[in-house]
Amino acid sequence: MSKHISDKTVRNHSQNKPFSEVLEISLSRRAMMRGGLAAALATMSSFGLAGCDSSSTGGHTPANDGGTTPNPDPEPPASVKLGFESLPTSMTDGCVVPQGYIAHVLAPWGTPINDNALPWDQNGNNSSNDLLNSMGMHHDGMHFFPLEGSSTEGLLAVNHEYIDEKALHPKGPTVVNGKRPAEEVRKEINAHGVAIIHIRRTNGRWDIVQNSRYNRRFTSATAMKLAGPVGGTDWTKTPFSPNGTQVRGTNNNCGNGTTPWGTYITAEENWAACFVNTGTRPAHQQRVGVSAGPTGRYLWETAAQDPSEVLGEFTRFNVTETGASATEDWRNEVNGFGYLVEIDPYDPSSIATKRTSMGRFAHEGCAYSKPEAGIPLAFYSGDDSRFEYVYRFVSAANWDPKDAERTDRLAVGAKYLDKGTLYVARFNEDGSGEWLALTGSTAGKNGRTLADEFGSLDAILINTRGAADFVGATPMDRPEWTATHPSNGDIYLTLTNNTSRNASTGTNAANPRLNNVNGHIIRWHDEPGSNKFKWDIFVFGSDSGADADTNRSGLTDLNQLASPDGLGFDSRGILWIQTDNGIDGGRKNNVARATNDQMLAVIPGSLADSSGTGPAINANNQADLRRFFVGPNEAEITGFSMTPDHTSLFLNIQHPVNWPAYDTHDATVVSMNTVRPRSSTVVIQRADGKPIAV
C-alpha cells in the first residue's frame, strides 16, 4: 500500500487487547522462565528455517499455473537452495539485480493495450479514452496466468492502486471555483482499477500482444456484479442498480490473490476516502473512513452536473442522503466497495464479481489454504490500517479437485466464495489463537450477540470492522499481504508498521519501540477441523545497527529491512518479501537512510510445533535471508509472480521519483535526466536462461 493514500487515522476505538500486548506477555513469560529476553529469543528462534542444507520438501503451487485449464505445478525437488549472493544496499534511480541477471521494463503506465489508445505522452497529454485502453497508474498486486501451461506466453493481471495527479496531468489537477473538469476526472477514474494483458516472450524479451482479445481494463467506472449476502439487498440499491445487484467500478486495488480454479482476486483497499458524506455519517461509514467533507480524496464528486455526466457518474461519489429513498440519491454507492473482486482473465466476456461474503474492509490481499479434497477452502486477508484485524473466510462447500478443470470459473467462484463463514483472529499469549465467527449467534460484549447488535448477516458484513470490534478480535500493526506455504500450509502475514504506537497504547516485546516503524512478519497454522491455530513470529524488521532488543532477528547490512509489505511464495517454497518503507515520505528511519526499497528471498521451514513466538530468523541463520533486488529511489516494491518454469520473475515498481529512463527498456539503467516517472512491471531473468534464484 502506498503511503500517499494510507489511512493514517486510527479508527479502531474498541479497546480490544492489541497484539502488541499479547506478544509482550508471551515473550515476558518465556524470558522469566529461561533467564532473560536473550535466552527467550534464543530458545524460540531455533525453529522454522529450512536453510541452505535443508531437505524440506515443497508441494503444488498455491497459484494456478496450468494454462487455460489450471493444473498444479509438478512437485518441486526435495531440496532447494538459494544460488545468489545477497546484494549490497542501493540508493539510485535504477534497479539492481544480482550478477548474472537482467531486468527489463514491461507495460509501464500509459502503454496502449490496443489501437484505441494513442502512445503515452511524456508531457501528460493523454486523454481519458487513452487511459481506458492503456495500462493504469501505480502498478501493485499482480499474477501471471499461463496460456496452455506456457512459460513464454500468458496473461498478466495487474492492479492499479491509485493516481499521482501531478504526473497524470500536464500541470497537475485543475480546480476552478472548487470544481474539477469532467475530462480530468474521467482520466483519473480510468487510471485506477485492473489491467489484463496478453504477454509473450520473444528472443528473451516480454512484450504486450497488442489488440489481443484478452486485453482489457477494469476501471472505477466498469460495471460489476455484487454477489453473496450483501448483493441485491437494501444496502446496495442505487439509481444505477435499483435491485442492488451491480455497482460501477473497483477502486484502490492493492494486493491480490488467486483461486485454485484459475481466477484472479483483486483487493479493494483505501477506497473509502474517495467518497464524501457531508450529512450524518452512519457508524459503518465512520468506521471505514468515508470522508466527512467538505470533499472526497480526489474531488471527483465536484464534477457533478457537468453537461456530459452520464447516470450520475460523478455525483455518486457524494453519498450524502438527499432523496426520499435509496434510488433517489447515492447514499448506498459506497456500500458497493470494500470487497475482494473475482476476475476470470481467460474469459474476455466475463463480468468481474465482488464477493461480499468475504467481508468489507480495507483488503490488502488474499491467500487461500492448501487445497485438500473433501475439505472446505479457507481464504486469508489483512485489513491494512493501524490496529485493524486479520480475517479468514471458510467456504461452505468442500473442495472438489475437478473444479480446477472447469472453464465456467466464475460459477465455481460462486460455489466456494458466496456461501461460507467469515472469521476474525484472536491471538493468545501462549502461541495459540482462535478464529471468531462473524455470524449472528456469536457472542460479543455485554452478553449480546452479533445478531442483537447488527441484525442480519448482510448488516454484519457491511459492518465487518464493527463486528470484529464487538467479538474482541486482536488489533494488529497494519496487516497487509498473506501467503501460503505450498507444502506445509503455513500462512504468512506482513505487519508493515504502526507509527501510532505511543505511550497510551504501550510498548511490547515484539515492537519495543513507541514508534514502530520497522514492522514484522507473523505466521500461523490452522488446526485441522478446528477454529484454533498456532502462531509465531518469522522475522522482525530492523536496521543492522540497532541494539539487540530492537534487532531481535539479528539482521545485517546484507538483509536489514523495514516495513515488509508484499509477500509471495513460488511453487518451490521460496518466500519473497517486498518492502514499502515510506521512502516517498522522507528517509525517516535508519533502514530508509541506508537503502531503497527491496525484495528479499528465504526458504522457510515449518512453523515450530512448540509454543514459541519467534523469531524464526535470528542471528544464527542470517545467510538464509538474502537481498535479491533493490528498486529505484522513492519506489515501493510490490506485486510478485513467476512463470511455471521459474525462469521469469515479475514484480512492480510503484511511485518512483525519477524512473524509468526514457528510450530504454533496461530497468537497471540509472536515470540521468529528470523524467516523468512511470510505475511499471519489471521482468527479471537470468542471462543464461536458467531458473531464478537457485
- pLDDT given for residue 467 in this prediction: 98
| Average of per-residue pLDDT across 655-675 | 94
- pLDDT given for residue 78 in this prediction: 54
| Average of per-residue pLDDT across 653-662 | 96
| Average of per-residue pLDDT across 417-444 | 94
> So what's the architecture of 19-686 in CATH?
6 Propeller (2.120)
Higher pLDDT, 218 or 615: 218
Let me know: does 498 contact 477? Beta carbons within 8 Å: yes
| Burial readout 508-523 (b: 16 or more C-beta within 10 A, e: otherwise) | bbbbbbeebbbbbbbb
- pLDDT given for residue 1 in this prediction: 54
| Average of per-residue pLDDT across 47-61 | 34
| Residue 385 confidence class, pLDDT cut points 50, 70, 90 | confident
pLDDT at 208 over 60: yes
Cell numbers standing for residue 543: 536496521
Cα 668-670-673 angle, rounded to 5 deg: 150
pLDDT one-digit tens code per residue, 529-573: 999 999 998 999 999 999 887 898 999 999 999 999 999 999 999
Let me know: does 49 contact 612? Beta carbons within 8 Å: no
pLDDT at 230 over 70: yes
CA contacts within 13 A on the Cβ side of 269: 35
- pLDDT given for residue 3 in this prediction: 53
Domain ranges of the chain: 19-686
List C-alpha distances in Å: 97 to 81, 373, 666, 683, 693: 18, 40, 12, 11, 11
Amino acid at 309: E
List C-alpha distances in Å: 152 to 45, 175, 570: 41, 46, 17
Higher pLDDT, 161 or 500: 161
| Average of per-residue pLDDT across 347-354 | 98
Among 124, 131, 130, 136, residue whose Cα is nearest residue 170? 124
- pLDDT given for residue 676 in this prediction: 96
- pLDDT given for residue 431 in this prediction: 84
- pLDDT given for residue 423 in this prediction: 98
- pLDDT given for residue 9 in this prediction: 63
List C-alpha distances in Å: 167 to 31, 137, 370, 676: 52, 10, 42, 6
Number of other residues whose CB lies within 10 A of the CB of residue 262: 26
Measured CA to CA, the distance from residue 251 to residue 272 in angstroms comes to 9
Q: What is the largest CA-CA distance in the chain?
A: 74
pLDDT one-digit tens code per residue, 677-689: 999 999 999 999 9
**What stretch of H or E contains 253?**
strand 253-258
- Please, which residues have CB within 8 angstroms of residue 472's CB and are 6 or more apart in sequence? 14, 16, 17, 426, 436, 444, 445
φ/ψ (deg, to 5) at 583: -65, -25
**Is-above-0.75 flag for pTM?**
yes
Cell numbers standing for residue 6: 494510507
**What stretch of H or E contains 20?**
helix 19-34
| Average of per-residue pLDDT across 478-507 | 86
φ/ψ (deg, to 5) at 612: -65, 150
- CA 649 from chain centre, in angstroms, equals 18
| Residue 402 confidence class, pLDDT cut points 50, 70, 90 | very high
- DSSP letter at 667 equals T
| Average of per-residue pLDDT across 245-272 | 97
Using DSSP bridges, classify how beta strands 353-355 and 223-227 pair: parallel, antiparallel or unpaired.
Answer: parallel
Bridge partners for 268 per DSSP: 253
DSSP calls for 414-474: HHHHSSEEEEEEEE-TTSEEEEEE-STT-B-GGG-BHHHHH-SHHHHHHTHHHHHHHHT--
| Residue 164 confidence class, pLDDT cut points 50, 70, 90 | very high
End-to-end CA separation in angstroms for the chain: 29
What rounded mean pLDDT belongs to the chain? Answer: 89
- Please, which residues have CB within 8 angstroms of residue 74's CB and are 6 or more apart in sequence? none
- pLDDT given for residue 17 in this prediction: 62
- DSSP letter at 533 equals E
Q: Is 611 left (phi over 0), alpha (psi -120 to 50) or beta?
A: alpha
Let me know: does 246 contact 225? Beta carbons within 8 Å: yes
Q: What percent of the chain has pLDDT over 90?
A: 77
| Residue 74 confidence class, pLDDT cut points 50, 70, 90 | very low
- pLDDT given for residue 606 in this prediction: 86
pLDDT at 42 over 90: no
Measured CA to CA, the distance from residue 267 to residue 259 in angstroms comes to 13
pLDDT at 40 over 70: no
Higher pLDDT, 96 or 430: 96
Q: What percent of the chain has pLDDT over 70?
A: 86
- pLDDT given for residue 176 in this prediction: 97
- pLDDT given for residue 23 in this prediction: 55
pLDDT at 84 over 90: yes
Cell numbers standing for residue 526: 490452522
| Average of per-residue pLDDT across 15-37 | 47
| Residue 65 confidence class, pLDDT cut points 50, 70, 90 | very low
Lowest-confidence segment of 275-284, 320-329, 605-614 by average pLDDT? 605-614
φ/ψ (deg, to 5) at 568: -165, 145
Let me know: does 603 contact 624? Beta carbons within 8 Å: yes
Q: Is 252 left (phi over 0), alpha (psi -120 to 50) or beta?
A: left
Cell numbers standing for residue 250: 473497483
pLDDT at 576 over 90: yes
- pLDDT given for residue 429 in this prediction: 82
Dihedral of the alpha carbons of 408, 412, 415, 420, in degrees to the nearest 10:
-150
Which of the residue ranges 51-55, 56-60, 596-600 has the most confident prediction, judged by mean pLDDT? Answer: 596-600
Higher pLDDT, 30 or 344: 344
- Please, which residues have CB within 8 angstroms of residue 307's CB and are 6 or more apart in sequence? none
Among 519, 557, 525, 524, residue whose Cα is nearest residue 539? 519
- pLDDT given for residue 501 in this prediction: 67
- Detail the DSSP E strand segments found in 68-215: 101-106, 139-146, 153-160, 193-202, 205-208
Lowest-confidence segment of 209-213, 379-383, 428-432, 455-459 by average pLDDT? 428-432
Using DSSP bridges, classify how beta strands 205-208 and 193-202 pair: parallel, antiparallel or unpaired.
Answer: antiparallel
